[in-house]
Amino acid sequence: MLMRLFSNAVVRSFAPAAPDATSAVAPDSILVDGETIVAVGTRVELLDIAASESSTTAALASAGGIGATTVIPGLEIEEIDCAGQVILPGLVDAHMHSIHYADSLTDLDLSDVRSLTEAVDAIRERASQMPFGEWVVGSGWDINKWDDPRYPDRELLDQAVPDHPVAMWSVDLHTLWTNGHGLEIAGIDDLTADPFGGEFVRDDEGSLTGLVREDATDLVARFIPEPTRAEQVERLDRTQKLFLSQGLTGIHDFDSIASTLGWYDLREADRQHIRVTKYLRGPEVPWAIETGWHTGDGDDWLRRGGLKLFSDGALGSHTCHMSSPFPEPHVHEETVTPDEAGAEQESYTYPGTVPEDALSSAPEDANYGIAQMSEDDLFENARRATEAGISVAIHAIGDQANHHVLNVFERLRQTTKEAQERFERPLRHRVEHAQFIQPADVARFAELDVIASMQPRHCISDLHLLHLIDESAQLAAYAWPDLLAAGAHVAFGSDGPVEPANPFAAIYAAMTRAHISGDAATSFQPRRRLSAAEAIRQHTQGPAYAAGLDDRRGYLAPGMDADFIVVDTDPYVAEGLTVPADTGGTGGHGASAASVQEGPLDHDGLLGYESEEALFAHAEAIRDTTVALTVVGGQVKYQA
């Protein structure tokens, strides 16, 4: 097979034994044979290695421009000029919903609307373009960002769109807004009981409002027509091309059987260009056990992951399971002016104890979120999967949910050990999101060897929601460095389409913990920032470990899979960075010795930059990174 030489670059290998920031002779090239890296070093060194593999040597031909290639006669090698840009390991999104993401590129997007009126107008406009009676489907609405922050209901939809059933998902995908037509099709009326772990929201008279939360959404969503299998494949193909253009070489996919079939179809058609680790949903477990699905099976492109379970809901929907109650959303219960809404929101700023008068006067009426499954039910489902050789990933956002999930994994330890011995493979359990953690539970992630699968963009997207969290609980919030310092494994992702998939925006979020616009004044708990290098590790080595592929992926070295990207921004070098960028991390698994610092939270939050301005300048440059090439399995899968 033809060898490839990617040359004229600054190579940041992130290999544990390679001090990228301090190397005397920095590598500038990568030599690839098939899907595997042969060597990382200087161009001259790698040409010598290539020549030793060939019977002849030859004069070198020049290659012009980024991505330009030439075949060097005699060496049977194709050289690709990277034009002096930076090579990084391929980034992997450890938590992605590929079908939802694909659908979001087609369905109605309400993420930019700023009021209930705007949302209804957008739905009416989309309905006017559709055949009579078809479902109007969309997502992205967020009342927490509306000028009139009151919950939507069916009344306005019934007036605006009487001839179409409507299904509009909230931005966190945990609440569905539908109309009377949609409820009727689903067979749901005022007498329908709430399922365990879900809710049909009702008004004071007991009438359905059209809001459906958590597990109850399934009872409506199952009536929404799905694209044909062929249409879904085309949507997935479009989506993977977007991911490749953003520097992703792999994803951990948490969607349903539809995405499993879609990826299989792309694989069979030789059209899959991004690596996928596929996770199961609860209803698929009997089928998975019957067909012999085991975590770690599959091939290099489509790998079998574990089972996803749900412990609670989401912060924005007030359904994550907390140890302290949410304040009553009085501003949502009546129409208020934007000025009044702003004043109400400003009275609850983080940090701050939730005022007593913001809570229900009756303790039994206080909202602590929703426990979608009891601890015992979670354990029984997790035990069944683990005994069948399937690892477990449990969604937990609230601190009480995380506490229960850690209890489940503690009870599961012996079962996991026995299953790993029986199936001769690691079964690495995970907590998805882990946004709010009780202080005593931070160390338990490391003690139980449970991976914290986290999404940095959630931190900065939730800035306007943090008034909902009671500061007196002293929770570890979006506590990536705390977990790393405790010795836990962390893997970063996006939860797309809840957040955009672009991993460079996530790295910005980890570095700044501030609004995506770059407003330093919005930074939340700066002492919990991560350096660019450490954030990249959680997008490379973190997902590799979670998938059981840490011996093949996550950094660039001989024998590793040839997955890497060429970008225009160096995470190690920036004006105002006074110490090597690698020293800004907090250690933990996968970190180099240089990144370990004493008291990882006991610093000024500058990560080695001489000023806040210098830190934000570099973070914003990383946020705006342009990807020139994405290489997966040694082949260029994307070129700008």
Domain boundary pick from 222, 246, 274: 222
Residue for token digits 């919005």? 522
112 and 217 assigned to the same domain: yes
Instruction: Specify the range with the lowest mean pLDDT, choosing from 79-88, 194-203, 389-398, 609-618.
Output: 194-203
Distance (Å, whole) CA 400 – CA 394: 13
Average pLDDT of the chain is: 86
Mean pLDDT for the stretch of residues 314-340: 65
SS percent in the chain: helix, strand, coil, step 5: 35, 20, 45
Interhelix angle for 532-546 vs 612-623, to 10°?
50
Cα separation, 633 vs 34, in Å, equals 7
Q: Specify whether 120 is located in the same domain as 161.
A: yes
The domain boundary residue, chosen from 90, 110, 145 = 90
Q: Confidence band (pLDDT; 50, 70, 90) for 147?
A: confident
Radius of gyration of the chain (CA): 25
Whether residue 68 is found in the same domain as residue 113: no
pLDDT of residue 584 exceeding 50: no
CATH number of the domain bearing residue 57: 2.30.40.10
| 133 and 199 co-located in one domain | yes
Rounded distance between C-alpha atoms, residue 87 and residue 71, angstroms:
21
538 inside domain: no
Q: Is pLDDT above 70 for 561? A: yes
pLDDT of 352 = 35
Write the pLDDT tens digit of every residue in 350-395. 333 444 444 444 556 788 998 989 999 999 999 999 999 999 999 9
User: Which of 349, 347, 350, 406 is closest to 382 using CA atoms?
Assistant: 406
Residue 575 lies in a domain: no
d(CA 216, CA 467): 27
Regarding whether 183 and 113 lie in a shared domain, the answer is: yes
In which domain, by residue range, is 113 found? 98-222
Q: Are 216 and 187 members of one domain?
A: yes
Give the global pTM.
Answer: 0.85
Are 172 and 156 found together in one domain? yes
Would residue 420 count as lying in a domain?
no
Helices (H) and strands (E) in the chain, counts: 19, 26
Q: Is there a domain that residue 384 lies in?
A: no
Give φ, ψ of 636 to 5 degrees.
-70, 110
Q: Where is pLDDT greater, at 471 or 54? A: 471
Rounded average pLDDT over 167-190: 91
Distance CA 574, CA 625 (A): 14
Question: How many distinct structural domains can be found in the chain?
Answer: 2
CA angle, 403 as apex, 397 and 408 as ends, to 5°? 105
Residue where a domain terminates, one of 203, 222, 241: 222
CA distance 637 to 635: 6
Q: Is residue 208 part of a domain?
A: yes
Res. 601 pLDDT band, cuts 50 70 90:
low
User: Does residue 81 share a domain with residue 144?
Assistant: no
Phi, psi of 587 (to 5 degrees): 80, -145
Residue with the two structure tokens 């290098």: 533
- Strands (E) across 275-429 are located at 275-281, 302-310, 392-396
Q: Are residues 76 and 19 in the same domain?
A: yes
Round to whole Å and give the CA distance between 173 and 494: 14
**Contact assessment for residue 3 and residue 77, using Cβ atoms and an 8 Å cutoff:** yes
Q: What confidence category does residue 335 fall into, taking pLDDT thresholds of 50, 70 and 90? A: very low
| 379 part of a folded domain | no
Claim to verify: residue 48 and residue 117 sit in the same structural domain:
no
> Are residues 74 and 120 both part of a single domain?
no
Q: What is the identity of the amino acid at 70?
A: T
Is it the case that residue 403 has pLDDT exceeding 50? yes
pLDDT for 532 equals: 96
Q: In 3D, which of 245, 240, 242 has the Cα closest to residue 265?
A: 240
Residue 529 lies inside a defined structural domain of this protein: no
Q: Per the domain annotation, does 465 fall within a domain? A: no
Q: DSSP secondary-structure letter at 364?
A: G
Dump pLDDT digits (tens) for 201-243.
999 889 999 999 988 998 998 999 888 889 989 999 999 999 9
69 and 115 housed in the same domain: no
CATH no. for residue 201? Answer: 3.10.310.70
